[in-house]
């Protein structure tokens, strides 16, 4: 019996495709013949220099999610008006017929562009995200473009360097990195593998400075912690630049040789009113000067790691750019253990373009029409769209200005088809729901954005016959609408994966075959060592103005009323924004809470546990007051888009603005102001 069991087990490489810094690579042990629980274990690779043999606590039992009793196993059709998860199961054939007929009808009555596809990175596998574009490209449909996450910062950095990826994150543990500045990045919860690198550097006597509007756990490890108000980081940067300039601590020869427009930094940053800015940013002078002294003392030995939260602002790209000027002024690029870590995905473009062309079979530019994903709500409101496909995305939880998004999704003349593994906030508006496969059940490649490279998902069997990968669904739909002979839809997922592998350089292909992954950098590799960047003349482009933005918004924030708060919306340690509710239900309550500093709770004459009304120009809802030591007075925290399909109305994105970040059109989630009102009970 034991021998039989052993023989039936299969080992496959897998990669976690959650939209996460980790992209953890693992070995899956499968029992292909088991009736249901086919994935027996997923063991994170010890030899992967970033995965380092462990998963995060969000997903260290991924089988519980894959075989969860609430997983969707059959297609569903709506039985009650939109706004509720009320469905009946139907046969796959019937579901495909309904979707195909509707699609043909919309195309005939309106046009192909009235069919809109909205997708994001809920499954960040390349084939999962992009292969449906084969279908939408051939159809001439409209698709969403851009993202809701880090695009503002990427755009800001690209203005300086011609790319947003300039540093190898393994440089955190380079012996030359004596000062690590973690700016707005909650590594200890959202990037625990990088946190481990920082811990190692600290054991080797590096110094850590944490700058964050929240006192996150990594702040406890820091030698210096600065807690500016959200949205004021560029002013903090300006003060630091001012001190570096007045103390002649900048690297003049670096600036002259490699930086165009550096005089604009000097001329702008010299005009500061230190006292005024200190009160605006909420940082004390001594702490700031301790930080500046370290920057000066450890010039050419300092590395920055910037998180995505700081750029979830109307001017996020410019904020990231302003922070980066500190590293430029100090000449902290091109040397071991220096630079700026943000997103490294731009390094992947060297091998990615041919893969994406092959997966989509079209260049994305040749699609007829694109709309920014952040504007999905207003696009649907326009009346231009009559059919909406949604995959890898939960817009009724994740997009800002939820009232607008949900109203737009409620329109009865927009037929909505959604693929997902579970019912969620968005399926409440779907007409048809198609059960989706998990990443481990689909052939795919993953291109990580923190440690650049590529890794694989070798699909294991899915026990539920109607569950499909995104590609499988659109392939079936293509056949239904008469494209069964089209060469575009003859491949299987596995053949697409093989085609991609064939397009890769031999070294990458072999690494993936043997180890399951390829990493672009050796640990000691220093990118841009020659300081020649992909700008038109190879030099860093630091032309100003650098700080002429956001004055009106700052005034509004500074002059807010006593019951008004700056809202921050981080993800919870056990969730990836609107995902993973099924395996962490014990944290449901946290999404009904608003967290304030105890001083603010007292000032509002409230007590922990009181119910309050929270509102702003976008929406209104009730929350329970909770105390938090991580936020400073004036700041309120509600965790980001709920992972639970609530019947109530608790979702922080009721209050977040749909006005996008100006450079990258990503979400300005941390730009909202909210008012908190005490609810007076009628019984009193
Ligand atoms: S969510 Fe992120 S850290 Fe957790 S297992 Fe997946 S990739 Fe790794």
- Kindly state if the Cβ of 59 falls inside 6 Å of ligand 1: yes
- Give start-end residues of each CATH 3.40.50.740 domain in the chain: 76-148+350-442+464-502
Please give the DSSP secondary-structure letter assigned to residue 591: G
How far apart (Å, rounded) are the C-alpha atoms in residues 184 and 210?
8
Q: Are 308 and 276 in contact (CB under 8 A)?
A: no
CA 105/CA 415 separation, integer angstroms: 11
> Among residues 618, 570, 654, which one has the least CA distance to residue 230?
570
For residues 20 and 59, what is the distance between their CA atoms, to the nearest angstrom? Answer: 11
* CATH number of the 151-342+524-541 domain: 3.40.228.10
What is the 8-class DSSP label of residue 679? Answer: P
**Topology, domain 76-148+350-442+464-502:** Rossmann fold (3.40.50)
Q: Is 335 exposed, middle or buried (0-12, 13-18, 19+ CB in 10 A)?
A: buried
Which of 25, 44, 58, 584 best tests ligand 1's pocket when mutated (most atoms within 8 Å of CB)? Answer: 58
Phi-psi region of 486 (alpha: psi -120 to 50; beta: other; left: phi over 0): beta
Where in the chain is CATH 2.40.40.20?
551-678
Q: What is the C-alpha separation between 262 and 283, in angstroms, rounded?
A: 27
Ligand 1 neighbour 583 (Cβ under 6 A): no
Is domain 551-678 in CATH 2.40.40.20, yes or no? yes
DSSP alpha helix (H) spans, 247-307: 252-258, 262-269, 274-281, 285-297
CA–CA distance, 232 with 196 (Å, rounded to integer): 29
Task: Measure the CA–CA gap between 253 and 313, rounded to whole angstroms.
Answer: 34
Domain with CATH 3.40.228.10 in the chain: 151-342+524-541
The full DSSP string for 36-93 is S--EEEEEE-SSSTTTTT---TTSTTHHHHHT-TTS--S-EEE-S-TTS--EEE--HH
Q: What is the Å distance from ligand 1's center to 577 Cα?
A: 13
- pLDDT score at 367: 59
**CB neighbours of 477 closer than 8 A, spacing ≥ 6?**
96, 99, 100, 103, 135
Whether 388 lines ligand 1, by a CB cut-off of 6 Å, is: no
Angle at 443 between CA 437 and CA 447, to 5 degrees: 105
pLDDT at 362: 78
C-alpha to C-alpha distance for 407 and 83, rounded to whole angstroms? 9
- How far apart (Å, rounded) are the C-alpha atoms in residues 44 and 198? 20
For the Cβ of 56 lying below 6 angstroms from any atom of ligand 1, the answer is yes
pLDDT of residue 7: 52
Q: Is the peptide bond before 352 cis (omega within 30 degrees of 0)?
A: no
Residue with tokens 């990968």: 469
> Is 116 touching ligand 1 by the criterion CB < 6 Å?
no
Tell the residue nearest (CA) to atom 6 of ligand 1.
16
- What's this model's pTM, rounded to 2 decimal places? 0.95
Give the three-state DSSP class for 118. strand
Stretches in the chain below the pLDDT threshold 70: 1-7, 363-367, 647, 682-684
Please report, for residues 325, 443, 514, 644, the alpha-carbon distance to residue 505 in angstroms, rounded to integers and kept in the order given.
36, 19, 14, 43
Task: In whole angstroms, give the CA distance from residue 405 to residue 378.
Answer: 8
């Amino acid at each position: 019996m034991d021998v039989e069991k052993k023989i039936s087990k299969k080992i496959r490489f897998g990669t976690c495709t959650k939209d996460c810094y980790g992209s953890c690579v693992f070995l899956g042990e499968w029992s292909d013949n088991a009736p249901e629980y086919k994935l027996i274990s997923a063991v994170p690779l010890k030899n992967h220099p970033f995965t380092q043999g462990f998963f995060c606590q969000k997903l260290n039992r991924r089988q519980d999610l894959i075989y969860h009793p609430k997983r969707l196993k059959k297609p569903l059709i709506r039985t009650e008006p939109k706004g509720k998860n009320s469905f009946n199961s139907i046969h796959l054939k019937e579901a495909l017929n309904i979707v195909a007929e509707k699609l043909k009808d919309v195309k005939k009555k309106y046009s192909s562009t009235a069919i809109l596809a909205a997708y994001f990175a809920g499954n960040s596998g390349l084939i999962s995200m992009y292969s449906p574009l084969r279908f939408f490209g051939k159809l001439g449909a409209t698709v969403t473009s851009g993202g809701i996450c880090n695009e503002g910062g990427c755009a800001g950095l690209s203005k300086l360097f011609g790319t947003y990826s300039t540093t190898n994150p393994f440089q955190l543990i380079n012996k030359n990195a004596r000062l690590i500045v973690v700016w707005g990045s909650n590594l200890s919860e959202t990037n625990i593998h990088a946190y481990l690198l920082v811990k190692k550097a600290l054991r080797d006597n590096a110094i850590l400075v944490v700058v964050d509007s929240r006192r996150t756990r990594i702040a406890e490890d820091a030698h210096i912690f600065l807690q500016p108000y959200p949205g004021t980081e560029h002013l903090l940067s300006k003060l630091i630049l001012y001190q570096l300039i007045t103390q002649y601590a900048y690297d003049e020869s670096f600036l002259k040789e490699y930086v165009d427009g550096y005089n604009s930094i000097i001329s702008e940053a010299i005009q500061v009113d230190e006292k005024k800015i200190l009160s605006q940013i909420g940082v004390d002078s001594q702490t700031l000067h301790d930080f500046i002294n370290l920057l000066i003392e450890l010039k050419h030995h300092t590395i920055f790691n910037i998180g995505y939260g700081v750029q979830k602002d109307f001017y996020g790209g410019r904020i990231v750019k302003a922070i980066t000027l500190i590293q430029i002024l100090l000449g902290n690029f091109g040397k071991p253990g220096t630079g700026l870590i943000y997103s490294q995905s731009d390094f992947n473009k060297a091998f990615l373009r041919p893969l994406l062309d092959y997966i989509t079979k079209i260049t994305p530019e040749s699609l007829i029409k694109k709309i920014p994903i952040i504007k999905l709500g207003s696009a649907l409101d326009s009346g231009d769209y009559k059919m909406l496909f949604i995959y890898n995305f939960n817009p009724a939880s994740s997009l800002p200005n939820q009232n607008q998004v949900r109203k737009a999704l409620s329109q009865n003349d927009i037929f909505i088809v959604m693929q997902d593994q579970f019912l969620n906030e968005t399926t409440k508006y779907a007409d048809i729901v198609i059960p989706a496969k998990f990443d481990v059940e689909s052939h795919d490649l993953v291109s990580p954005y923190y440690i650049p490279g590529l890794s694989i998902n070798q699909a294991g069997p899915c026990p539920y016959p109607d569950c499909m990968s995104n590609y499988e669904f659109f392939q079936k739909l293509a056949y239904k609408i008469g494209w069964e002979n089209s060469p575009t839809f003859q491949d299987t997922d596995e053949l697409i994966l093989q085609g991609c592998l064939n397009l890769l350089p031999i070294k990458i292909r072999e690494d993936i075959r043997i180890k399951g992954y390829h990493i672009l950098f050796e640990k000691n590799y220093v990118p841009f060592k020659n300081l020649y960047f992909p700008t038109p003349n190879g030099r860093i482009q630091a032309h100003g103005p650098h700080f002429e933005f956001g004055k009106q918004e700052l005034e509004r924030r500074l002059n807010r009323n006593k019951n008004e708060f700056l809202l921050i919306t981080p993800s919870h340690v056990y969730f990836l924004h609107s995902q993973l509710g099924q395996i962490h239900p014990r944290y449901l309550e946290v999404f009904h809470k608003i967290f304030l500093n105890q001083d603010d709770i007292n000032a509002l004459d409230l007590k922990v546990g009181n119910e309050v009304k929270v509102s702003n120009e976008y929406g209104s809802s009730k929350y329970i007051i909770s105390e938090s030591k991580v936020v400073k007075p004036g700041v309120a925290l509600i965790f980001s888009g709920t992972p639970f399909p609530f019947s109530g109305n608790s979702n922080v994105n009721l209050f977040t603005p749909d006005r996008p970040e100006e450079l990258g059109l990503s979400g300005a989630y941390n730009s909202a102001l909210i008012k908190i009102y005490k609810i007076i009970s009628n019984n009193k």
